[in-house]
């Protein structure tokens, strides 16, 4: 946000934050449908159909007079990485939701700010201040609350959840990388879903099961929620750094606990609530940091070469 006034930077951050809040409602609804469908169908069946629907919605949205920019990208290499990461994240989330309670998957989503901070430094050269690193790293302790008896309790579902967080974060960071070079947000929705459709279509003939109309409606609802969520997220990632966007996603826990209790009869344990409190509390610092004018940010640790703020230049 270098070169803008503090007021303009605050307005930009506020808009980005509002978009992320709406995103959390949409993506949590999509996740609930994923968990519902995952019990009776394979991943290719859900993602092939939904990917095709989202591709169609992207083409239709691009025909709107205010949006007509085509679906061409000027960053094909970065888009390919984002698309591949999106496919791997989708598969990982599918099996994580199948094997774990809603709230436990959230704790791994809470790791995404830490992963985003690390990836942003390498990929985007957005250097995170030491104070932010400390806050983000502390959040990792919240995940450890899932395993009060040691790492022997780690299951396949937890591995899938970590994989989902890892590839989901890479997809988000690449979205910001692309967004700093072009403003065609629909292309960032279209191509990852085209990749999902193409990869899942290969496996679909081997796993297809007939679907009643009610389940097809659920898949269509999933696609609508996903399309809206991903479009909003791409725009938000143009306005805020990835490591500031991801802590705002902690609001998903509220939605996920409510949906888990309402539709799946899941109630988090005390350890899960403790972990979430740690993750959410430490994750708020990067958001607050974005509302602090850069000339008022003071390095917490003297001697770190990147302790005077972060750069957003490409």
What are the tens digits of pLDDT across the range 237-269? 777 776 677 667 777 777 777 777 777 777 777
Domain presence at residue 305: no
Domain presence at residue 259: yes
What's the average model confidence in pLDDT over 284-288?
Answer: 64
Burial of 103 (0-12, 13-18, 19+ CB in 10 A): buried
Q: 173 near 123, Cβ under 8 Å? A: yes
Domain presence at residue 206: yes
Q: DSSP 3-state assignment of 59?
A: helix
- Is the pLDDT at 50 greater than 70, yes or no? yes
Domain presence at residue 310: no
Domain presence at residue 59: yes
Q: What pLDDT does 166 receive?
A: 94
Q: DSSP 3-state assignment of 191?
A: helix
Q: 203 near 47, Cβ under 8 Å? A: no
Q: What pLDDT does 18 receive?
A: 85
- Is the pLDDT at 21 greater than 80, yes or no? yes
Domain presence at residue 307: no
| Token representation of residue 294 | 């850069």
Rounded to a whole number of angstroms, the CA Rg of the chain reads 19
DSSP class of 302: T
Q: What contacts 63, CB < 8 A, 6 or more positions away? A: none
In this prediction the pTM is: 0.75
Domain presence at residue 306: no
159-216 residue pLDDT tens:
999 999 999 999 989 988 998 888 788 898 899 999 999 999 999 999 999 999 999 9
Give the chain's domain count. Answer: 1
Closest to 12 in 3D by CA, of 298, 314, 290, 312:
290
What's the average model confidence in pLDDT over 53-61?
Answer: 90
Asked which of 38-42, 102-106, 171-175 is least confident by mean pLDDT, the reply is 102-106
The secondary structure of 109-157, three-state, reads: HCCHHHHHHHHHHHHHCCCCCHHHHHHHHHCHHHHHCCCCCCHHHCCHH
Q: Which residue has the tokens 């898949």?
A: 219
What's the average model confidence in pLDDT over 90-114?
Answer: 83
Closest to 172 in 3D by CA, of 273, 280, 277, 249:
249
- Is the pLDDT at 150 greater than 50, yes or no? yes
Q: Which residue has the higher pLDDT, 31 or 313?
A: 31
Q: What pLDDT does 303 receive?
A: 33
Provide the pLDDT confidence category of residue 81 given band limits of 50, 70 and 90.
very high
Domain presence at residue 40: yes
- By residue range, what is the domain housing residue 59? 6-64+73-293
The greatest distance separating any two alpha carbons of the chain, rounded to the nearest whole angstrom, comes to 63
Q: What pLDDT does 192 receive?
A: 94
Provide the pLDDT confidence category of residue 299 given band limits of 50, 70 and 90.
very low
Q: What pLDDT does 40 receive?
A: 82
Q: Which residue has the higher pLDDT, 39 or 205?
A: 205
Asked which of 13-22, 26-35, 137-146, 175-184 is least confident by mean pLDDT, the reply is 137-146
| Token representation of residue 303 | 């001697």
Q: DSSP 3-state assignment of 257?
A: helix
Q: Which residue has the higher pLDDT, 71 or 114?
A: 71
Q: What contacts 33, CB < 8 A, 6 or more positions away? A: 218, 219, 221, 222, 225
Please state, in angstroms and rounded to a whole number, the distance separating the CA atoms of residues 280 and 238. 23
Q: 289 near 129, Cβ under 8 Å? A: yes
């Amino acid at each position: 946000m270098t070169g803008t006034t503090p007021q303009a930077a605050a307005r930009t951050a506020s808009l980005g934050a509002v978009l992320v809040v709406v995103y959390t409602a949409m993506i949590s609804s999509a996740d609930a449908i994923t968990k519902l469908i995952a019990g009776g169908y394979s991943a290719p069946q859900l993602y092939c159909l939904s990917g095709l629907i989202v591709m169609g919605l992207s083409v239709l949205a691009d025909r709107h007079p205010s949006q007509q920019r085509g679906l061409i990208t000027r960053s094909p290499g970065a888009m390919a990485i984002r698309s591949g990461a999106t496919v791997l994240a989708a598969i990982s989330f599918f099996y994580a939701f199948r094997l774990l309670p809603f709230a436990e998957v959230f704790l791994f989503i809470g790791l995404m700010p830490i992963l985003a901070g690390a990836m942003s430094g390498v990929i985007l050269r957005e250097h995170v201040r030491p104070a932010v690193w400390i806050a983000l790293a502390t959040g990792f302790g919240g995940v450890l609350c899932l395993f009060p008896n040691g790492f022997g309790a780690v299951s396949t579902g937890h591995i899938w959840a970590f994989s989902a967080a890892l590839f989901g974060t890479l997809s988000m960071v690449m979205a910001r990388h692309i967004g700093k070079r072009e403003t065609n947000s629909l292309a960032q929705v279209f191509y990852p879903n085209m990749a999902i459709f193409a990869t899942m279509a290969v496996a679909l003939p081997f796993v297809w099961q007939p679907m009643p109309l009610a389940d097809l409606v659920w898949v269509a609802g999933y696609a609508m929620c996903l399309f809206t969520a991903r479009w909003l997220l791409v725009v938000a990632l143009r306005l805020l750094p990835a490591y500031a966007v991801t802590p705002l996603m902690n609001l998903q826990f509220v939605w996920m606990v409510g949906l888990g209790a309402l539709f799946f009869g899941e109630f988090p344990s005390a350890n899960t609530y403790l972990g979430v409190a740690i993750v959410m509390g430490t994750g708020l610092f990067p958001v607050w940091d974005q509302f602090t004018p850069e000339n008022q940010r003071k390095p917490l640790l003297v001697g770190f070469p990147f302790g005077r703020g972060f750069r957003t230049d490409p």
